[in-house]
Amino acid sequence: MKDDNDPGVDDSFENVLEEAARNLQRRTSPGHSIARMNEGSRELVPLQLEERRLIHREESVRRQSDAFREIRTRLLGIAGQQNFVTLVVAVSPRSGGSFVTRNLAAAFAFDEAKTSLLIDCNLRYPSQHRALSVDPAGGGLIDFLEQPSLGIEPVLYRTGIPRLRLIPAGKARENSGEYFSSYRMSTMLDSLRCRYPDRYLFLDGPAIKGSPDARILSDLADFVVVVAGYGRDTPAAISQAVTNFDPEKMAGVVFNHVP
């Protein structure tokens, strides 16, 4: 199968994904998928999580944790029983979009019946690997899209949080839209979501202002969460940002105090 709009795509990419999915399915049943995602001795303790500006279950960050759990509850209420892909984008740079994406993914991972996959799609200014203290030695999203024969496993990184994995951005790229609109990107997301019914995907997208990538990424997502910087983004800017997306995909606007 070939997409005429994407001359670099051929049958080999789809075959690589299908074969990887079959191999993984042979190694583990759905009931074992969550058990395999425990961090063991590498699990981060609350102090380490706070240093990374991440929520946890202890009382010291209860208010913040409850806020992200509330967003989780809203998304699950909209989606029903089906797992989904959520795009999180800020209205403008430095409004805390990556912070919200990271902690929303962590909130889903709190549920022992669910797993989270955080994908850094901010190719110009990637930050998730640094925030989570992950060394992306095996590459990231762009490396996989450019050379899918390497397989997806090398770019799936442990985070120190049980049931939460990260795909970092990989190589820095200026023209990211061509990757996000490609057949390879959509096929990868479909494969990652369908492999486990308990997996929820979170795309950390670039700010809406000044980049078309957020709109392109929204075509790949089931839901869109817009992050507005409290005291930074005006009501007019927020309203304008929301118009970039399909109203049926808009899950809501999060006001964030922390950049």
Tell whether the model's pLDDT for residue 13 goes beyond 70: no
Model confidence at 81, pLDDT cuts 50, 70, 90, reads confident
User: Can you name the residues that pair with 118 across neighbouring β-strands?
Assistant: 166, 202
CA 44 – CA 54 distance, rounded (Å): 10
Residue identified by tokens 């950390």 is 204
User: Can you name the residues that pair with 163 across neighbouring β-strands?
Assistant: none
Token reading at 60: 């010291």
Tell whether the model's pLDDT for residue 17 goes beyond 50: no
The better pLDDT of the pair 233, 171 is held by 233
pLDDT value of residue 16:
39
Model confidence at 211, pLDDT cuts 50, 70, 90, reads confident
User: pLDDT averaged over the chain?
Assistant: 85
Average pLDDT over every residue of 219-247: 96
pLDDT value of residue 4:
38
Average pLDDT over every residue of 10-33: 41
CA 147 – CA 15 distance, rounded (Å): 13
Amino acid at 92: S
CA 154 – CA 57 distance, rounded (Å): 30
Average pLDDT over every residue of 123-135: 94
- Degrees, nearest 5: CA angle 21-194-134: 75
Tell whether the model's pLDDT for residue 39 goes beyond 50: yes
Average pLDDT over every residue of 79-98: 95
CA 240 – CA 216 distance, rounded (Å): 16
pLDDT value of residue 143:
93
Token reading at 210: 């000044």
Question: SS3 of 152, please?
Answer: coil
pLDDT value of residue 18:
44
CA 17 – CA 24 distance, rounded (Å): 11
